[in-house]
Copies of this chain bind each other. A is one copy, B any other.
Amino acid sequence: MKLRAVGEDALLASLLRGPPVSQRVIAAAGDDCAVVESPDRKTSLVLKTDCVVEKIHFAPAADPILVGWKAMMRPLSDFAAISAVPQFALVTLIVSATRSTMWVKKLYRGLQRAASRFGVGIVGGETSATRGPAVISVSVTGFVEKGRWISRAGGKKGDDLFVTGRLGGSLRGRHLRFVPRINESRWLTKNFRVHAMMDLSDGLGADLPRLARASKLAFKIDREKLPLARGAKIDNAISDGEDYELLFAISRRDRERLERAWRKKFPKLLLTRIGRLSQFSIKASPARTNSQLLPGGYVHFK
């Protein structure tokens, strides 16, 4: 079978099913980052790698500063997803030997600028030639206090679902300039009991079902309430992807306090309640969707 027919989620799941890793691993593949034991009792180590590939994640003519920015910010957004603090990055550049050094320097300026924004140090790297498209792979190490990191799996029946920012149309430019919601995520877990969280990278229509499935729940969404980016329609907010906003589940008892505190702390960033987690029911099959519902637990909008 060709890879094309399998899909990344299924492939990674099967690949990472290897021999059981030791008890040092707190959370491995499937969540946004790997969380592993650190030598320190109060914190866990957090690891994440991500890559951008020319012609897939950026156009050959894209500004290399922005490409570098995106390559660094993507794994940092996964730190936001679980409320961890990134610290160190390693960068692998795989580029054609015919590429100009100026392009690479600009790329690196973007990487460095993005890293500095969150106090991350680029502590090592590796370059290799290729005759194919350029690849920039960034792996990030950081930490999270024990008991503070948030997985996708902790959502409870009846929880409110919130998203930060506005969704849709990211590929018109925002995907190269976004700022991961690390500060917002850390503030959330400092002040609230967030039950489940992730960052929206593949689009709400693909990512929300993942959070719900991990929490063994279904969900109800009010499509009309989705916060739309300028020029985006509801379908864009659901399917476009690369929003890099936070999606999280929190008890409705916290709703009012959250909305009030958020407006005060982040007056420029929208926080929108888009729906809630609901009981999973076998009857809620993909066929029973209507305009008020995304399919409960199925990826439908890819």
Q: Determine if A24 and B101 form an interchain contact, defined as CB atoms under 8 angstroms apart.
A: no
- Tell whether A43 pairs with B39 under 8 Å between CB atoms, given A3-B101, A25-B123, A131-B133: yes
Tally chain A residues at the interface, Cβ within 8 Å. 74
Q: Is A214 at the interface (CB under 8 A from chain B)? A: no
Q: Determine if A122 and B21 form an interchain contact, defined as CB atoms under 8 angstroms apart.
A: yes
Q: Is A11 at the interface (CB under 8 A from chain B)? A: yes
Distance in Å: Cβ of A65 to nearest Cβ of chain B: 13
A211 to B53 CA separation, bound complex (whole angstroms): 34
Among the listed stretches A90-98, A151-159, A172-180, A183-191, which one makes contact with chain B, having 4 or more residues with CB under 8 Å of it? A90-98
Q: Determine if A12 and B121 form an interchain contact, defined as CB atoms under 8 angstroms apart.
A: no
By a CB distance below 8 angstroms, the chain B residues around A39 are 38-40, 42-43, 143
Q: Determine if A53 and B129 form an interchain contact, defined as CB atoms under 8 angstroms apart.
A: yes
By a CB distance below 8 angstroms, the chain B residues around A121 are 21-22, 24-25, 28, 36
By a CB distance below 8 angstroms, the chain B residues around A36 are 87-88, 121, 123, 141
Q: Determine if A126 and B51 form an interchain contact, defined as CB atoms under 8 angstroms apart.
A: yes
Query: Residue-by-residue, is A226-250 near B (CB-CB < 8 Å gives 1, otherwise 0)?
Result: 0000000000000000000000000
Q: Determine if B100 and A3 form an interchain contact, defined as CB atoms under 8 angstroms apart.
A: yes
Distance in Å: Cβ of A293 to nearest Cβ of chain B: 31
Q: Is A16 at the interface (CB under 8 A from chain B)? A: yes
Distance in Å: Cβ of A110 to nearest Cβ of chain B: 11
By a CB distance below 8 angstroms, the chain B residues around A302 are none
Q: Determine if A15 and B48 form an interchain contact, defined as CB atoms under 8 angstroms apart.
A: no
Task: Indicate the member of A57, A105, A127, A129 with the most B CB atoms within 10 Å.
Answer: A127
Query: Residue-by-residue, is A1-35 near B (CB-CB < 8 Å gives 1, otherwise 0)?
Result: 11110101001101110110110110011000110
Q: Determine if A2 and B101 form an interchain contact, defined as CB atoms under 8 angstroms apart.
A: yes
Query: Residue-by-residue, is A119-158 near B (CB-CB < 8 Å gives 1, otherwise 0)?
Result: 1011111111111110101010101000000000000000
Q: Determine if A97 and B130 form an interchain contact, defined as CB atoms under 8 angstroms apart.
A: no
Closest to A104 in B: B3
Q: A3-B97, A25-B123 are in contact. List 11 more A-B contacts (CB 8 A).
A: A2-B99, A2-B101, A11-B101, A16-B125, A33-B124, A38-B38, A45-B45, A47-B141, A49-B137, A55-B131, A94-B137
* 20 sampled A-B residue pairs with Cβ under 8 A: A3-B99, A3-B129, A4-B97, A15-B104, A15-B108, A19-B112, A22-B119, A34-B123, A36-B123, A38-B39, A49-B124, A51-B94, A51-B137, A53-B94, A56-B129, A90-B139, A94-B135, A94-B137, A130-B132, A130-B135
Closest 7 CB pairs of A and B: A132-B132, A39-B40, A21-B121, A34-B123, A139-B139, A4-B97, A49-B90
